[in-house]
Amino acid sequence: MARTYLDHASTTPARPAAVAALLAWARLPAADPARLHEEGRLVREAVEAARAQAAELLHVAPRQVVFTSGGTEAINAAAWGATRAAPGAPVLSTAVEHSAVREASLRLALLETVPVDPDGRLDVEALAARLGRPLGPRPALVHCQWANHEVGTIQPVHEVVALCREAGVTVHVDAAAACGHLPTDLGSLEADLVSVSAHKLGGVPGAGALVVRRGSRFEPLLVGGAQERGRRGGLEAVPALMAFGAAAGALAADACRLMDAEAATAAHQVALIVEAACASGGVAVVGPADPTQRLPHLVCLGVEGVEAEPVLIGLDRSGVAVHSGSACSSESIEPSPVLEAMGADPSHSLRVSVGWTTSESDCDAFAGAFSRVVDDLRSLRA
């Protein structure tokens, strides 16, 4: 049976440029890029070329890009560095942030929750009121994702960063879900810290970056070596970083025409998926109804009358892979806190996400399988 993969928001296939970079790495000498001999210099050149490619996509200087093992490490490094600089101060976050953001902060500081609206959008006025409070400790850090990883809501990141800059509070933006799908000009954003992940945009697992604003200082999370200009110890994962750089370079080429074209195609495909799902009745978009207010490549669907887990299993048996926020459909024993914070029911929610390899035949396969599975489950329930 041919498979239809519609879980690209979890991870997307490596782009041809990334695969070519892995092959190029295999032809390099086995050397530590920190060494001064010729072999080391060749590997160092490959790492720095990857850094320049990532920086071009993000519109920052290469020296601002600190390579990590992925988005999760970058998030942990941001939380560690900011809280170490302000011991005992609280951290502000919404309940819709990624679990890595919440858990990395909880283990280091008191976590204060900023409210969100029913679409999962951060309440800017509530944040401004908290930052302007004269009494109580000034926050060590504010987290704000660029866009939500489960429902796609685009957050008011520029407003949040501006508020934090005015208040003199460090701000971290988790751009893992957005980078490669939306223009992410970090130079104009001027956030203190931004985390990105390679495998979300067509690189391979094992690579990511923490982008540090010019002039910022932070205590590194991983110590034990002078790599990354002393900001992250440990031998660099050269093949994964080269693949990261190649994928970023493909997206950054020709003034982001590829990213724009992919975003337009993704939005069209998601519209087809929403139309097909809603034709079954009792299905609604969870999060912003306006597609311009969410990521172009994903949508969360609320399905009445049946739980998400049997729908997901039925789709999988029909050859279609999607994701659900229900506890039974993930590694977590708890349902999605993102959906709960929005007042949505995780046990009836499915996330469908397209990617650079998705075709309209994949959308057709989803349409046929979804209606059949949901109709069968509803008839059994009746």
- β-sheet bridge partners, residue 283: 303
Given 144, 164, 256, 328, the catalytic residue: 328
Distance CA 72, CA 82 (A): 16
**Which amino acid would we find at residue 368?**
G
Does the annotation count 328 as an active-site position? Answer: yes
Least Cα distance to 189 among 232, 221, 247, 146 occurs for 146
Distance CA 306, CA 148 (A): 25
Long-range contacts of the stretch 331-337 (C-beta < 8 A, 24+):
332/99, 336/150, 337/95, 337/96, 337/99, 337/102
**Cα-to-chain-centroid distance, residue 205:** 13
At 83, give phi and psi (nearest 5°). Answer: -75, -30
- β-sheet bridge partners, residue 154: 147
Least Cα distance to 173 among 265, 75, 247 occurs for 75
Please list the active-site residues. Answer: 328
